[in-house]
Amino acid sequence: MEGITPEQLAQIQQQCIFCQIASGKVASKKIYEDEKVVAVLDINPANPGHLLVITKKHYFVMPQMPDDEVEHVGKIAKQLSQVLLKALKLEGTTVFIANGVAAGQKAQHFMMHIIPRKEGDEVGIQVQPKQISETDYDKIYQALSQGIKKNLGDITGLEKKSEEKTEEKESKEKISEEETEEKEIEDAEIVKEDAEESKPKIVIDERKKKEKKKTEKKEKEKKKKNKDKEGASLDDIAKVLGA
Ligand SMILES: [Zn+2]
């Protein structure tokens, strides 16, 4: 799979049964379709109603997909889960993606499984907890921390949290617009009472401007980073698939 050319990829797509299903060349029980994905009923379901969300473009594994496609698959999985839950009167859904042979991937085409669940349905997806030594635990932590730094730069969990906080703050500001208006009226009254006391309002406006600039800058940086790390190399994918 190393050094694959666009021509070779086109050939794979021609031979890939899931590409054929996505394009409609091979018949399937298609229950959903948009410009990026199709969702079909699995012909060998883990439970009746087992859905496969298949990308229209040929990807081997999720790390190869552009961010917007991953996002889209996530959104569709949410919607389809809701539909399944109601339509089949389920108690839950199991959503999973197998990346690589070791993870149980059988097809050479990315897909997300959505499996209807009911208590005691005996679908054999169970995680058996293992014991891990303190040393191994530390080693894993170190290796992952380094990998994350290398791949995601300075977007650490902490940074993300503070970003979320800024967003939260902004949405709160939007929601409490009425309150802000009230406050502004109050501020105006203060101004009326004493012209010298109008400073706090100016300070608030300045702070808002600064925060807006900060958020814009962060958005720009985020966009740049996404561009840089878009898509894994085919070598990485080959490793995942054990090819
Ligand atoms: Zn395919």
Give the domains, in start order, of the chain with CATH numbers. 6-126 (3.30.428.10), 134-229 (no CATH)
How remote is the CA of residue 240 from the centroid of ligand 1, in Å? Answer: 17
Note the pLDDT tens digit of each residue in 125-174: 888 899 999 999 999 999 888 888 887 776 555 555 555 555 655 665 55
How remote is the CA of residue 87 from the centroid of ligand 1, in Å? Answer: 29
Note the pLDDT tens digit of each residue in 185-221: 555 554 444 444 444 455 556 666 667 676 676 666 6
Tokens of 98: 């197998």
Note the pLDDT tens digit of each residue in 39-98: 999 999 999 999 999 999 999 999 999 999 999 999 999 999 999 999 999 999 999 999
Q: Which residues surround ligand 1, an ion (CB under 5 A)?
A: 16, 18-19, 58, 109
How remote is the CA of residue 10 from the centroid of ligand 1, in Å? Answer: 10
How remote is the CA of residue 202 from the centroid of ligand 1, in Å? Answer: 58
How remote is the CA of residue 74 from the centroid of ligand 1, in Å? Answer: 19
How remote is the CA of residue 8 from the centroid of ligand 1, in Å? Answer: 12
The answer on pLDDT for 102 being more than 70 is yes
pLDDT (0 to 100) of residue 125 = 80
Note the pLDDT tens digit of each residue in 5-49: 888 888 888 889 999 999 999 999 999 999 999 999 999 999 999
How remote is the CA of residue 226 from the centroid of ligand 1, in Å? Answer: 25
Q: Under DSSP, is residue 137 helix (H, G, I), strand (E, B) or coil? A: helix
CB atoms within 10 A of CB 60: 24
Q: Please give the sequence-ordered ranges of beta strands (E in DSSP) within the chain, or none if there are none.
A: 30-33, 37-41, 51-55, 92-96, 111-117
